[in-house]
Each structure stands twice: as structure tokens, then as C-alpha cells.
Structure 1
Amino acid sequence: MDSAAHTTLAGRLKPLVINGRTYEGRAELRPRGELVHGCADVLDETLTALPSDVRRVELDMADVVFMDTAGLQFLERLDHYRRLRHIPVAATHWSGQPRRILELAGLDTTDPLHATPPPATASAPAPEADPPACSVVALERAEQLHMLRTEVRQLRQAIVSRPVIDQARGILMAAHACTPDDAWHILRETSQLSNTKLHTVAAALTAGAGTDGPPPPEAVRTALRTAVTRRLH
């Protein structure tokens, strides 16, 4: 079996394809590509096509190379199927950028359908004899938490403006011969450096790519050059 969904920039981004097999009441599925807009629909098609005698579903996510908040919808649909059918469902072998997104969302990176685990950064209290070091660690963790919350907020906002962000990623990929993951990081860092909303940055890049389109604001252009240099050079 296989199902696929194409992004708005077919041929540039990687469409989600789900291959798999079933035997002895067990379905083994292997998604490949990106968990972006439309991925939950591909999952629905795949799950609907499974034989009625399937009693366990396992997804190997090793070939998923990118995900945004649409990936969380993917997991919600998967969890709904699990509860509806009352059968074990697992999604394992996450790596790279998708694994990072699971961490940002506070999900179990081994299998996000399980309960959220204790924070991986938790450690034993520092000895009372060294309170300054403990304070430094606490400050560093607070800063990291703030950065992670900012990333999660941006990811949640991105889903509502996915088409223009897809286009901006495609423009960056074509202009700099970079990967979808690189393009996403460049967009995000440009947004942060220029103190401009991610959607606004993407819209400016997309508009400027037209024949007579206006160039992005100077602050965005400067931040974009810095982001590209940091990521690709």
C-alpha cells in the first residue's frame, strides 16, 4: 500500500508517502518525506485502507525529514485511530529536525503517543556548598526554556500561513541550493534577527521574487544575509 500528498511546490519539497505491509494482524507503515499541510489526510487514507483484522499498527518514522505543526495534527489523527480501534499504535525512530520538534512540544521522542516523559534535562540538586553554580544552571535553563517556547509559538503560528511559508522556503532552496530544513532555519532566524513575524518575512520574500515585486525591507534583507551566512557558510 502507499499514499501520498504533494506540497504546494511539487518537485522542490518532499511529498509525504506512506508505504507499508500487513501480516498476521499487524500493520507496519513507513512514512517518507515531510509532515506538512496535508499529511494528516494521507494518514487517514492509509489507515482507512488497512484490513479490518489489523490489531496493531507500527510506524517507523526514520525517513521523515521535516515537520511543522501539521505533524502534530498527524499525531492527533494517529492517536484518534488508536482510541477508536482500541489497538496498540506506535510511532518510533524519530530523528533530526522532527525529533527536535517533538522535544519542543514536550512529547516523548521515543514514541510521542505515549505519556509525556520527565524532562531529559532534569538532574540531581547541586550541593549546597556551591549555590552560585546552581544559580547559573537555573538561569541557563530558564533562557533555554524561553527560546523553546518561542520556537513552539512560531511553529503554531506557521500552520495558519503555511502556503506563503512553503513558497518562501522554495525560493530560498532554489536561490541557495539548500535543503528544506536549511530554508526553514534561515526563515526563522531572519524573523528573529529582524524582529519581524515569520509570516511577514515569508510574504516579503515571496513578493520580492516576482518580476516587478518590491524588495523586502532593509531590516529583513540584512537579517536574511546574516542568516544565510550563518547557516550555509
Structure 2
Amino acid sequence: MTSAAHTPLGGRLNTLVIDGRVVEGHAVLTPRGELVRGCADTLARTLEELPDRVSGVDLDMTDVVFMDTAGLQFLDLLDAYGRRHRVPVRATHWNGQPRRILELVGLDTEDPLRHASDRTAGPRTTSAVARERAEQLDELRVEIEQLRQAIVSRPVIDQARGVLMATHGCTSEQAWDILRETSQHSNTKLRAVAAAVVAGAEPKGPTPPEEVRRALRTAISRRLHGSS
């Protein structure tokens, strides 16, 4: 059982594939790709293919590499399915950028549906996921706007991450955090920061603007050396 979606965004194809199997009446789903526009539709098709009576649904989110606000719709749909069928639903093993989004909106990063595990009480007027999303919406909008820009600008941002990883021996996630923090502290768009990092890595490349260099040094020092 496999469902897939191909959604054009920012000039490229973002793919979500959900593999699934049912073991002794329990559904085990493995999404792979990105939780962006269309991901809830893919999940809906997957859930429709499940047997009428499953004892529960477990999702392993290890291979989900990116998430924007559509990922919250994905969680809402899972929550609604569990309540409608009165079965436990879990989504675990979050990492990287999707885990950061869960932190930002105040959800449990181990299982954002944990607090909604009691299915016997029946449906509520507002799901716990939606309620927590509303509480953090203003901060989330700022973060998601940066993420949308990152999708459109992904090639140059990926190059910049590669430059930072090669230069400073950091992980891909640390490189992303350095770029994002530099953008915030220098009041410079993320794409512009990434382009400056890539250009500066060329043998005769231009030096990044002073405010970007200063913010970049601070971010590297804080993220990699633990100093402010």
C-alpha cells in the first residue's frame, strides 16, 4: 500500500510518499519526503485504503525532511481520523527541520498527537492540535515565511549549507541554523545571506557585506562553540 503526491512548488517537484502495511490489525505508515501543499490529500488517500477496523495507526516520521504549515493540516487529519474511529494514532521519530516546527508551535516533539490519545471521549469542537497551533500562530508565520523563501531558494541555500559544512565541519542542520540566525540578526533575506556565503567561497569572490559577516561570525561562534 503506497500513496504519493507530486506538488509543484518553487519550480520543483516536492514528493510525499506514504508506504503502509497492516500487522495484526494495526496500521504502520511510513511517510517519506516533505509535508507541503498536498500532503494532507496524500494522507487522506492512504487512510481511506486502510481496513474498516484497525486497532491503531502508527506513523514513523524519520524520513520526513521538510514541513511547512501544511504539515499541521496533516496532523489535524490524523487527529480527526483517530477521534472518528476511536483508535490510538501516533506520529513519532521526528527530526531536523520538521521537529523544529513542532517545537515552535508548542507541540510534543516525540509525538504531537500524544495529548489527543484518549479517543473514548468522542470529538471535540476544536482539536488539541488546532488549539495549540492558534496559540503560537504569530511566531509561526514569521518562521514559515522564511521556510517558504527557503523552498524557492533551495539550490543556493543548499550550496551555502555545503560551504559551511565543508569549512566548519558542522552538520547540515547546524549549517541551516547558522544561515537562519545570520539572516535574522543582519536583517537580510535568507537567500541573500546564502548567496553571499556561496560567492565568498569562490577564489576571487566578493566579501559579504559587513553586517552579514558580523552576524555570520556570531552565529558560527554560538552554534558551534557555545559562545555568544
Give TM class, smaller chain. 0.5 to 0.7
Counterparts of residues 193-232 of structure 1 (less than 5 Å)? 193-196=185-188, 201-202=189-190, 222=213
Q: Is the 8 A contact 1:36 1:69 kept in 2?
A: yes
The 2-side partners of 1:165 and 1:59 are apart by 26
**CA 1:161/1:63 → structure 2, altered by over 3 Å: closer, same or farther?**
closer
Residue of structure 2 in register with 1:166 after alignment: 151
Match of 2:30 in 1: 30
CA RMSD of aligned residues (A): 4.0
Letter in 2 for 1:49: E
Distance 2:5 2:75 in 1: 16
Residues 162 and 110 of structure 1: is their aligned pair in 2 closer, same or farther, counting only changes over 3 Å? closer
Q: Which residue of 2 aligns with 1:73?
A: 73
Counterpart of 1:185 in structure 2 is 177
Return the offset for 1:18: 1.0
Aligned partners of 1:169 and 1:184 also within 8 Å: no
Per-residue CA deviation, residues 20-58 of structure 1 (Å, 9 max, x unaligned), is 112432211011223233322221221122222323111
- For the pair 1:157 / 2:142, whether they are aligned, the reply is yes
What is the match of residue 141 of structure 1? none
- How far apart, in 2, do the equivalents of 1:74 and 1:88 lie? 16
Matching residue's letter, 2:48: T
SS of match in other structure, 1:87: coil
TM-score for both structures, normalised by structure 1? 0.60
Residue pair 1:172, 1:183 contacting (<8 A) in 2 also: no
Matched residues in 1 for 2:146 and 2:111: separation? 28
Aligned to 1:113: 113
Q: CA deviation at 1:163?
A: 4.9
Residues 1:98 and 1:59: Cα distance change in structure 2 (over 3 Å):
same
* TM-score after normalising by structure 2: 0.61
Aligned-partner residue type, residue 91 of structure 2: A
Name stretches of at least 5 consecutive residues in structure 2 with no aligned partner: 117-135, 166-170, 197-207
**Residue range with higher mean Cα deviation, 218-227 or 17-26:** 218-227
Change (3 A) 1:44 1:226: farther
Output aligned runs, 1:13-92, within 5 Å.
Answer: 15-92=15-92
Q: Look up the SS of the partner of 2:180 in the other structure.
A: helix
Alpha carbons of structure 1 residues 173 and 182: separation in structure 2 relative to 1, 3 Å = farther
Deviations along 1:75-127, one digit per CA (max 9) or x if unpaired, are: 111111111222221112223443343233222223211229xxxxxxxxxxx
Cα offset for 1:3?
2.0
Cα distance 1:193–1:161, how it changes in 2: closer, same or farther (>3 A)?
closer
Structure 2 Cα separation of the partners of residues 180 and 166 of structure 1: 16
Secondary structure of the residue that 1:15 maps to in structure 2? strand
* 1:66–1:98 contact (8 Å) kept in structure 2: yes
CA contact 1:64–1:98 (8 Å) conserved in 2: yes
Gap runs ≥5 in structure 1: 117-150, 209-216
